Amino acid sequence: MPAHPARRSSRGKQENQLGSSPATRNKVFRYRRICARSCRHHRCGCAGCPDCSDVYPQLGASKHPMGYTLKKIIALYRTDAHSPFQRLGYQARVKQDRMMERISEKHGHLQLRGVKSKTLTAWYKDWSSGGRIAAGHALIARLRTLFRFGFIVLEDDDCLRLSEILRESRFRTQGPRLVQLTSDHVKAIRAEARAHFGWYSIALAQALQFELRLSQKDVIGEWVPIAEPDESDVIVHGKKWVRGLCWSHIDKNLVLRHTTGSAGKRIEADLRTAPMILDELGGQDEIIRLVNERVGPIVINDVTGLPWSTAEYRRKWRLVARKAGVPDMVKNRDSVQAATLVGGPDQARVLRHITLTDISRHLRSRRR
């Protein structure tokens, strides 16, 4: 039996509007049905429909005629419950927020469908101009994270396209840092911190960083808002101290156990094999006495009696380093050489879990 002429005409008109691909038509009709259940506009295509505003962020920009802007992707990355941003530590979120705000201020108004390979290359050239290669590379890394989130969580086709472009693109990098804080540097910093400045805590922190191969944050900790999930017994002015070394981490056999880094890796270090730390704390017997008598953070600001803030410690450490003759190109983070698996002869015996990723980084650094 032949189809009704009017019905055939209406269906043909809809197909011309939506495209000839059956998959495309089915996709659009499917989302129209979802929209209809939400806003009860049974002919709604979600274009400009205010009742669909709560539905569309979950459907992906490719289902909406207008698509996502870069600013909208950034906002969703910050707030979506499934975003990897929610799993970052406090300081990492603050750092990423600053970079994403910089991207949003200048380019946030742009539709993703209008961003091409040449656009991304022009952005990188602008961000890295004047020798700011590290800054340019960091901002490109944020874009990679944003577009990956948009593709995986929001199922957006433009984010998939841009992720593929960035995956195939090559941007200039600075390469691995070849400078290192040496044992002689550490000895000079410790001596100047004690004798010239009277900052015994900086001398102790430097010894702990170098001999245990720990980051600055793993030694002195950090101050975060009370609302952060980490537990702490040190709370001052609406912030709490977390992550740093405590006296309770040392047992009676002078073995220090600590959870390090954002990945939460456990380490065990025998302090009896760390001469610099023993020297700063007065020997093995004195350390045992301190462990039995003291609680809380090991490294305390000599002036305030509280754990150091990150910014203040960094500023004071640089003053000491310059006084000790350490070049400005050598930074505190160079206490731990990148991609090393074992310590040198001047460092303590530390047991830590080594992953395949650690081995891969180590091999790449050796090849360079």
Q: In the chain, where are the structural domains located?
A: 1-59, 68-174, 183-367
Helix H or strand E encompassing 240: strand 239-242
| Token pair for 157 | 């086709």
- Whether the predicted pLDDT of 9 surpasses 50: no
Among 31-45, 137-151, 222-236, the least confident range: 31-45
Chain position carrying tokens 């008598």: 293
pLDDT at 54: 42
* Mean of all residue pLDDT scores within the chain: 80
Q: Provide the percentage of residues in the chain whose pLDDT is more than 90.
A: 58
- What's the pLDDT tens digit per position in 177-220? 677 888 999 999 999 999 999 999 999 999 999 999 899 999 99
Overall average pLDDT of the 103-122 stretch: 94
Q: Provide the percentage of residues in the chain whose pLDDT is more than 70.
A: 72
pLDDT at 56: 40
Give the fold, CATH level 3, of 68-174.
DNA polymerase; domain 1 (1.10.150)
Q: How many helices (H) and strands (E) does the chain have?
A: 14, 6
pLDDT at 10: 44
Give the fold, CATH level 3, of 183-367.
hpI Integrase; Chain A (1.10.443)
State pTM to two decimals: 0.70
- Whether the predicted pLDDT of 362 surpasses 80: no
Give residues with Cβ within 8 angstroms of 18, minimum separation 6.
Answer: 24, 25, 28
- Whether the predicted pLDDT of 28 surpasses 50: no
CA–CA separation, 49 vs 45, rounded Å? Answer: 8
Of 155-169, 263-277, 337-351, where does the model show the most confidence?
Answer: 155-169
CA–CA separation, 215 vs 311, rounded Å? Answer: 15
Instruction: List 241's β-bridge partners, or say none.
Output: 223
